[in-house]
Amino acid sequence: MICTLLRAVRCTERLHGCPGKPWFLPHSVPHRACSQTEPRWRWGLQEQNTAARPRYIWGVNQRSIWTQGRSLQSAKEDGSKRVSVHRSQGGETVLSTSQKVKEAGRDFTYLIVVLIGITITGGLFYTIFRELFSSSSPNKIYGKALEKCRSHPEVISVFGEPVKGYGEATRRGRRQHVSFIEYTKDGLKHMRVKFYIQGSEPGKQGTVHLEVKENPESGEYEFRYIFVELEPYSRTIVIEDNRS
Amino acid sequence: MEEYAREPCPWRIVDDCGGAFTMGVIGGGVFQAIKGFRNAPVGMRHRLRGSVNAVRIRAPQIGGSFAVWGGLFSTIDCGLVRLRGKEDPWNSITSGALTGAVLAARSGPLAMVGSAMMGGILLALIEGVGILLTRYTAQQFRNAPPFLEDPGQLPSKEGTPGPGYPSYQQYH
């Protein structure tokens, strides 16, 4: 109720263009226009459309006040325009040295904040690109190994056709993280990855262990071994064994 | 691990939808309370009433739109998992992009593309944070790398199958 009252008063202020006047009781203020909440500029347009209809507010003829209000408003706008132009012309001489220092300090702080934000965002993007696109990331290796598992006939016969793979169960059930460990042996980087596969056969779940070794010439990772370990009776299916 | 014997995927949708709704209601409630407080007329009673009104009206709307986002994202994510057959960070990023596109569908194709890019980038950032957190918190628990032999389950080169004892390896 208070809000509508305020809105009605603001409506009358715009209508008459003199916001400094004391509070009137808007009995017959055009509620129709004021009952619309947003946007405000629509009020002005609607008022212009219905300006021809005479209304009684405070016993004075509406039309005269309306034209007065309009001219007052336009005069005020011109005045404000003039004031703003004047201010911008005289802008440089108003700032004193201390204000300039404050401005510079504020700009510098903003710059630091922006740089920190860019650095953090850049770091996150770099991480995600390295994870998704670099061929030495565990996710890529997991993808390649999963493809090899899917095309292996013994795996298909044990698990059933659409074989799906997943990693460790993180919070709320998302299983995107594959567990891996990196170590260096004889100067070459090795990585071991472990993930799970499951097929359409119910209840059959297997764990895939694999190890990759870095090829010194090409820098790519090559598979050393891949094998699938079945839970119930720990039978292993060897998919690839390149140990030398 | 009996409680994880059921697949997370269809139930994850309900999970995510509810979680997003709660986040939206709480966050939106806090913001709308402050906004309603500030936009109300002077006087503590008016301000409190304005604050309560703003929360009552807007907080469920914000919660609802968050819930729509979360539910749609999770649905597309589960659909992609079903389609591709593996769980990847790619699923999340693509789901985020498609969610953004679908939710902007009423504004035309150009808005859909922009919204899809924003959704994808947002999800990529969230995935990056998740990956960094997982890697760094896991590294804290890693001891000195032990001497790693080939696991016992792997049959030796001569062909005799190895025993089924678990390999003492530490993964992270």
Give the three-state DSSP class for A207. Answer: strand
- Half-sphere exposure in the Cβ direction for B24 (13 Å, CA): 20
For residue A69, being part of any structural domain is answered with no
Report the residue from B19, B86, B164 with minimal CB separation from A234: B164
8 A C-beta contact, residue A194 and residue A209: yes
| Predicted pLDDT of residue A107 | 94
Q: Which residue type, as a one-letter code, is found at position B112?
A: M
In the listed set A133, A151, A185, which residue is the last one of a domain according to the structure? A133
3-state DSSP assignment of residue A230 = strand
Q: Is residue A55 part of a domain?
A: no
Q: Which of A111, A133, A155 is the last residue of a domain?
A: A133
Classify each residue of B100-111 as buried b or exposed e, where b means 16 or more C-beta atoms within 10 Å of its C-beta: bbbbbeeeeeee
Do A15 and A31 meet the contact criterion of CB atoms below 8 Å apart? no
Query: d(Cα A25, Cα A30) in Å, to the nearest integer?
Result: 13
Number of domains in chain A: 2
Question: Do the domain assignments include residue A231?
Answer: yes
Q: What pLDDT is attached to residue B69?
A: 94
Q: pLDDT tens digit string along B62-78?
A: 999 999 999 999 999 99
**Cα B154 from Cα B148, distance rounded (Å):** 14
**A45 is written with which tokens?**
């347009």
Q: Residues in chain A with pLDDT < 50?
A: 17-52, 54-55, 59-62, 69, 79, 90
d(CA A44, CA A96): 41
| Residue A128 neighbours by CB under 8 Å, 6+ apart | B89, B93, B124, B125, B127, B128, B131
- pLDDT computed for residue A121 by the predictor: 92
In a domain, A168, yes or no: yes
- In angstroms, the CA B94 to CA A230 distance is 32
Residue of A nearest to B142 (CA): A181
Residue B54 is encoded by which pair of tokens? 């703003």
Q: For B85-95, write each residue's pLDDT tens digit.
A: 888 888 899 99
The pair phi, psi for residue A239, each rounded to 5°, is: -95, -40
Q: Which of residues 34-73 of B touch A (CB under 8 A)?
A: 41, 46
Domain-located, residue A8: no
Amino acid at A191: M
Angstroms from B110 CA to nearest CA on chain A:
24
The pLDDT confidence band at residue B143, using thresholds 50, 70 and 90, is low
**CB nearest to B46's CB, from A2, A162, A241:** A2
Give SS3 for B94: helix
- Assigned token pair, A210: 């694999």
pLDDT in tens, B99-122: 999 999 999 999 999 999 999 999
Same domain? A120 vs A168 = no
Q: Are residues A108 and A168 in the same domain?
A: no
Considering the domain architecture, whether residues A179 and A217 belong to the same structural domain is answered as yes
Amino acid type, B73: F
Tell me whether residue A37 is in a domain.
no
Residue A200 CB coordination number (10 Å): 11
Contact assignment for A146 to B86 by CB distance below 8 Å: yes
Q: What is the CATH classification number for the domain harbouring A157? A: 3.10.450.320
More confident residue, B96 or A177: B96
A6 Rama class: left (phi>0) / alpha (psi -120 to 50) / beta: alpha
pLDDT at A81: 53
With respect to residue A25, please indicate whether it lies within any of the assigned structural domains. Answer: no
Task: Give the predicted TM-score (pTM) of the model.
Answer: 0.67
B chain contacts of residue A174, beta-carbon cutoff 8 Å? 8, 12, 87, 92
Host domain of residue A105 = 98-133
If DSSP codes are grouped into helix, strand and coil, which group holds residue B142? Answer: coil
Phi, psi (rounded to 5 degrees) for A156: -65, -40
Measure the CA–CA gap between A119 and A127, rounded to whole angstroms. Answer: 12
Q: Is residue A237 part of a domain?
A: yes
Residue B160 has a pLDDT of 31
A170 shares a domain with A222: yes
The C-alpha angle A47, A48, A52, rounded to 5 degrees, equals 95
Per-residue burial over B25-51, b = 16 or more CB atoms within 10 Å of its CB, e = otherwise = beebbeebbeebbeebeeeeeebebbb
**B41: which chain A residues are within 8 Å (Cβ-Cβ)?**
2, 6
A194 shares a domain with A179: yes
What's the gap in Å between the CA of A182 and the closest CA on chain B?
9
Which of A65-69, B150-154, B166-170 is modeled with the greatest confidence?
B150-154
Q: Looking at the partner chain, which of A125, A175, A238 has a beta carbon nearest the beta carbon of B128?
A: A125
Please compute, for residue B166, the number of CA atoms within 13 A of its CA located in the half-sphere on the CB side: 6
**CA-closest candidate to residue B37, choices B24, B53, B58:** B53
Highest average pLDDT, of A5-19, A57-71, B2-16, B25-39, comes from B25-39
The pLDDT, as a whole number, for residue B110 is 94
State the distance between the two ends of chain B, measured CA to CA, in whole angstroms.
19
Same domain, A214 and A145: yes
Closest CA to A197 of A166, A174, A225: A166
pLDDT band at B60 (very low <50, low <70, confident <90, very high): very high
Same domain, A167 and A205: yes
A195 shares a domain with A152: yes
> Which is more confident, B148 or B42?
B42
The count of other CB atoms within 10 Å of the CB of residue B52 is: 15
- By three-state DSSP, how is residue B51 classified? helix
ipTM over 0.90: no
Residue-wise pLDDT tens digits, A1-23: 555 555 555 555 555 544 444 44
Q: What is the amino acid identity at position A78?
A: D
Report DSSP state, residue B39: T
Do residues A210 and A141 make contact, with C-beta atoms less than 8 angstroms apart?
yes
Query: Residue A47 has what pLDDT?
Result: 45
